[in-house]
């Protein structure tokens, strides 16, 4: 499930990601649930909307938030 908006320059917090994953777990079996970015960080070759630094910060938030959700779900 997409939990990160690659175009929005605001960096999601781990807590926001955790909450999005937990919300999805109410509808999908948690063992089948995974997190990803909404659409990737470079949908077009000339896209400069997201810097490399911002992209990596968003990825770190996704990993940490997913870990928090998995822990809460007992996975």
Mean pLDDT of the chain: 89
Token pair in block for residue 26: 């109410």
Supply the angle between the helices 14-25 and 52-73 in degrees, to the nearest 10. 50
Task: Indicate if the pLDDT at residue 43 is higher than 80.
Answer: no
Task: Indicate if the pLDDT at residue 26 is higher than 60.
Answer: yes
pLDDT band at 28 (very low <50, low <70, confident <90, very high): very high
DSSP-assigned states of every residue in 26-45: TTS-GGG---EESS-S-SST
Which phi and psi angles does 37 have, rounded to 5°?
-85, 155
How is the chain split into domains, by residue range?
A: 2-73
- In Å, what is the CA distance from 25 to each residue of 12, 13, 19, 48, 53? 19, 19, 10, 33, 30
Q: C-alpha dihedral over 62, 66, 69, 70, to 10 degrees?
A: -170
The pLDDT of residue 46 = 62
For the residues 20-38, what does the mean pLDDT come to? Answer: 92
């Amino acid at each position: 499930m997409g939990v990160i908006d690659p175009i929005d320059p605001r960096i999601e917090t781990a807590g926001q990601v955790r909450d999005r994953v937990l919300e999805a777990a109410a509808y999908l079996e948690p063992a089948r649930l995974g997190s990803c970015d909404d659409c990737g960080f470079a949908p077009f070759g000339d896209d400069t909307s997201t810097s490399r630094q911002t992209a990596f910060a968003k990825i770190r938030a996704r990993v940490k938030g997913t870990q928090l959700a998995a822990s809460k779900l007992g996975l």
